[in-house]
Amino acid sequence: MPEPGADGVSEEGEEVFPGPVLGALRASPGRVAFLQGGRAVTCGEVLDLAARLAAGMRDAGLGPGRGVAMATGLTPEAYAAHLAAHALGCRVAALRPGWSPRQTEYALGLGFDAVVTSPGGPPAPGLQALSPGPSPHAPGPRALFPGPSPHASGPRELSLGPSPHATDLLAVRQAADLTPRGRSGDIARLTFTSGSTGRPKACAQTYHAFTLAYRRERWPAPLAELMTGFGRCLISESLAGPVMMTYLGRCLIAGGAAVLPSGDDPEPLLPGAIERHRLTAILVPPPRLRLMLAALDERPVDVGSLRAVVLGGSPAGPGLLTEAVRRLGPIVWQGYGQGEAGVISMLTPDDLAREPAARESVGRPLPAVEVGLRRDGSAPVAPGEVGEIWVRSPHMMSGYWNAPEETAEVLRDGWLHTRDLGYLGPTGLLHLSGRSRDVIMVNAEVCHGGAVERVLAGHPAVAEACVLGAGDAETGEAFHAFVVPAAPVGREDLLALVRGSLSAGHVPRTITVVGAIPLTPAGKPDKEALAALVPAPGPPTGPVTRAVPPPVPPAGSPADPPADSPTENSPF
């Protein structure tokens, strides 16, 4: 038996990623793994693709510890490229769509030996950073696991098809051995934050930690139950996000097929895709679920095939959870996590059915996750009190790649500071109270934006609420609220609700009624877009209705970058 920690072997003596996925593909080579447009790709064909791509990457000098950046679309070939790079033991990162050229250039300067692109057309924005040499905007060579690069002049460009400026990996006819070569302690994946506050940070996860999500025998009971509904799952977003990447692999391990969007799909994708493809599982952020339910009112389609609706990106309010369960049945799940932390907690259909308080929570921490609530990063808070959420788990990041100072800000003695605020209820449910960065000072009083959002969203005439803080001439700082009405509602009613529930400092300076909360590609509220809608100073006379940019960009399309830190409130 191989020694634990050897090449391709985890600390428990089992194959590291992509071993679990490759094993599932080999077990059923004739089973359909991907559906995209009119195309069906079998498990055996994915294995063949991965083996050829691995051969091309190997010929390009890639192997254990080498860095590979993925700048591809959402296709079976793109996923096979991820499998191939991981089989070689590479450090793999996917560049986020919607980044500026400067952000892409910065990311490519973090020590990558190759970048894999989609064929056709000019290089993606920022790929001019491929040469000559490293990016001038990247930091010095302070990698967690430094080593010489086979391409000293900068990363080499490889392509998933014919390209005038890159090596075509699909032109390779020979096949490489796909036995995993990753070393348990080496970095397997870098998950980038969006960089909307500046340069993106890269969350580094070891092969040991990365593999745990795919170890079926170690899935907690609720996750194992959830995955029985993944017979045909819609994967609609970039593989740069950990949610889609992880659930795609889990879907294949569970024996399901992944449905990928194509250029022929009408927009919006949901809910029509459920009926067209007989989907059994979808992964959506709460705002998109609300839009889907509204679309079902206007034009009903058959959604009876659904067995699992997984919410992530941001917590869903109790009203939306109630409506989703009423309309879709007891198939609604919600996850809470981060790219830095991995999965933290799960809210299950059983929780929603048994405990009314569950609808105001993000579920219970997973068995392998320790949650600590602290005040000022050290002293624990009393039971039931709001504190900073710290977590410790086997699948969290090792640190931010090439950023020791930023790593030291969030990692301490094996614990990760999520920068979220929350409390544990009497039955063990974890409740979020906001982000530590959403705290403002109003007349020297500490006020939490998340608390205002929860109070406003609790009004029966409010479908969604979002709050942001800004400087204020009178009070130093003040909140500005944005609400999507479910029914006619007056500004004074909402102000009275907040005034009666929270301190005076929490009462919003303005309340703006919008048709939809603008979203980032990750499905989170776009607070930069909202900041542009804050009414000019002066006493407001009532709700203001303004045009808002389209809330849901097409899957995989360039758009404004998603909100930074946490990387994602990832489901499971």
Locate 376 and state its tokens.
């000022």
Q: How far apart are CA 47 and CA 43, in angstroms?
A: 6
How many other C-beta atoms are found inside a 10 Å radius of the C-beta of residue 129? 25
Question: Which helix (H) or strand (E) element contains residue 456?
Answer: helix 449-457
Q: What domain range includes position 48?
A: 19-212
Question: Does residue 203 carry a pLDDT above 90?
Answer: yes
How large is the average pLDDT for residues 320-348? Answer: 95
Q: Are 180 and 15 in contact (CB under 8 A)?
A: yes
Locate 148 and state its tokens.
């010489």
Q: What are the tens digits of pLDDT across the range 207-237?
A: 999 999 999 999 999 999 999 999 999 999 8
Report the percent of the chain where pLDDT is more than 90: 64
Least confident of 468-472, 516-520, 541-545: 541-545
Place of tokens 């091309």: 56
How large is the average pLDDT for residues 361-368? Answer: 96
Q: What are the tens digits of pLDDT across the range 52-72?
A: 999 999 999 999 999 999 999
Do the domain assignments include residue 84? yes
537, with CB counted inside 10 A (0-12, 13-18, 19+), is exposed
φ, ψ (nearest 5 deg) of residue 244: -65, -40
Q: Are 484 and 516 in contact (CB under 8 A)?
A: yes
Q: How far apart are CA 569 and CA 285, in angstroms?
A: 10
Q: How far apart are CA 509 and CA 301, in angstroms?
A: 41
Describe the crossing of helices 491-501 and 449-457 by its angle, rounded to 10 degrees: 120
What does 176-224 look like in DSSP terms, one character per residue? --------TTSEEEEEE---TTSSPPEEEEEHHHHHHTT-GGGS-HHHH
Strands 156-159 and 187-192: unpaired
Which residue among 189, 212, 235 closes a domain? 212
Query: Which residues touch 111 (CB under 8 Å, ≥6 apart)?
Result: 67, 141, 143, 146, 149, 401, 402
Query: Which residues touch 500 (CB under 8 Å, ≥6 apart)?
Result: none
pTM, two decimals, is: 0.82
Do the domain assignments include residue 541? yes
How large is the average pLDDT for residues 273-295? Answer: 94
How large is the average pLDDT for residues 136-163? Answer: 57
Do the domain assignments include residue 567? no
Q: How far apart are CA 457 and CA 108, in angstroms?
A: 41
How many other C-beta atoms are found inside a 10 Å radius of the C-beta of residue 260? 23
CA atoms within 13 A on the CB side of 185: 5
Residue 537 is predicted with a pLDDT of 72
Place of tokens 């069906």: 40
Residue 12 is predicted with a pLDDT of 59
Do the domain assignments include residue 136? yes
Task: Identify which of 389, 407, 391, 380 has the alpha carbon closest to the alpha carbon of residue 343.
Answer: 391
List the CATH number of the domain containing 534: 3.30.300.30
State the pLDDT confidence band at 100, using cuts at 50, 70 and 90. Answer: confident
Give me the sign of the Cα torsion angle 54, 58, 61, 67: positive
Locate 363 and state its tokens.
């579920």
Angle at 464 between CA 288 and CA 520, to 5 degrees: 45
Strands 91-94 and 187-192: parallel
User: For the chain, what is the domain count?
Assistant: 2
State the pLDDT confidence band at 398, using cuts at 50, 70 and 90. Answer: very high
Do the domain assignments include residue 46? yes
Question: Does residue 137 carry a pLDDT above 70?
Answer: no
φ, ψ (nearest 5 deg) of residue 558: -65, 140
- Helix and strand totals (H; E) in the chain: 15, 29
Task: Identify which of 94, 99, 101 has the alpha carbon closest to the alpha carbon of residue 67.
Answer: 94
Residue 545 is predicted with a pLDDT of 40
φ, ψ (nearest 5 deg) of residue 27: -70, -25
Do the domain assignments include residue 33? yes
Q: What are the tens digits of pLDDT across the range 460-482?
A: 999 989 999 988 888 888 999 99
Q: How far apart are CA 242 and CA 265, in angstroms?
A: 24
For residue 202, the cross-strand partners are 192
Top-confidence range, 84-88, 292-296, 440-444:
84-88
Do the domain assignments include residue 30? yes
Q: What's the DSSP call for residue 385?
A: -
Do the domain assignments include residue 349? no
CA atoms within 13 A on the CB side of 308: 28
Q: Are 71 and 118 in contact (CB under 8 A)?
A: yes
List the CATH number of the domain containing 201: 3.40.50.980
